[in-house]
Amino acid sequence: MVIAADNTIPFLKGVIEPLGEVRYLSSGEFTAEAVREADVLIVRSVDKCTRSVLEGSRVKLITTATIGFDHIDTGYCDAAGIVWKNAPGSNARSVAQYLAACLVTLSMRTDTPLQGKTIGIVGVGHVGKEVETVCAAFGMHILRNDPPRAEKEGEASFVSLETVAEEADIITFHTPLTKEGKHATWHLANESFLRKLKRKPWVINSCRGAVCDTKVLLDGRGTGQISALIMDCWENEPHISCELLQTVAVATPHIAGFSADGKANATRMCLEEISRFYTIKVERIGEVVPAAPLCPVIDLNQFASLRVEQAVLTAFNPLPVDKALRDTPEHFESFRANYNHPREFAAYTILHATEEEASVLSRLGFSVPSFA
């Protein structure tokens, strides 16, 4: 077996080699010539699996270490008999952790408590459900918008996008990117959406860049209809709008799902798909485990105030990567490829929490022994 794998996928090297010949490629090296003799591709979102790359190859299976799969020409793959598999839910908690940290950052910066705020979650799948858990822990009122789920499960638990626009103090997008069909999400945040905003919300995009129209976001910030933007996903990545970058409260280079835990989950899921497809055992899959944090214990007594918020930012603080991106936005993809993947909240143990703090932190996913 010949496997072509993205050379930045963590935990893969040394584990997959027993399965066959492994050729590690950078994103720019996924060409027709490079994959022609490959049986399996292991990719991420920057590795474009298009017809021009795949046609004439012997590729039988594509596994992507991502939730999204818009970088794969699924129509061509289905027609050509190429099986493709994504990694749904692998980084859901990572994105929720990112959202928690960004909300805490903006809350502290603006002296705006999160408790009691109304948040509209657009897209309540694997990620949206984890985001809902985080927001509930902070005492926020939640509006859920997910038309496909509403059609299947009934409207009672969901609201329209118009209701989200009219009633939410914070709006966060967690949809796939689709350009066709009844519930297409391309430019879901468009001029019509902007006109319906009533409460000058914070708007967050940590799903796919083109779900939000860049011009609309700029217009919204310019008019004040959007009071703040948190942007992890951008149109035209890696060549992002520097004009938009200058208006954003928290800016990151598409790393919301990049926790060490999420990466390990995705790598394991790719290996499991190869195992199922070829009916072979991946002997070393148990080695796909992230390392413990350098300081896995967070003692709340070290913080004079805002102890829950400080615990969140101790586990993950978005501001260092925010500064790096602002300083050199042209290094967008390099930041992603060389990112220092943080551990998720569950890897940290909290000490000296009050009952109220323990309740919030345990719901966020931290280990709180006295609360357990």
Residues labelled catalytic? 208, 237, 254
Q: Identify the CA nearest to 93 among candidates 85, 101, 82, 105.
A: 101
Q: Identify the CA nearest to 155 among candidates 164, 145, 165, 163.
A: 145
Output DSSP code: residue 5. Answer: E
Distance CA 311, CA 245 (A): 27
Distance CA 100, CA 140 (A): 12
Give me 117's structure tokens: 């705020």
Angle ∠(318,324,327) on CA atoms, nearest 5: 135
Residue 266, strand partner residues: none
Give me 175's structure tokens: 């949809």
Beta strands in the chain (DSSP E): 2-6, 21-25, 40-43, 61-64, 83-85, 118-122, 141-145, 170-173, 202-205, 228-231, 250-251, 297-299, 349-351
* Cα separation of the two ends of the chain: 48
Q: Identify the CA nearest to 252 among candidates 182, 180, 325, 154.
A: 325
Q: Identify the CA nearest to 69 among candidates 195, 189, 178, 185.
A: 178
Q: Over the Cα atoms of the chain, what is R_g? A: 21
Distance CA 325, CA 320 (A): 9
Give me 303's structure tokens: 């913080």
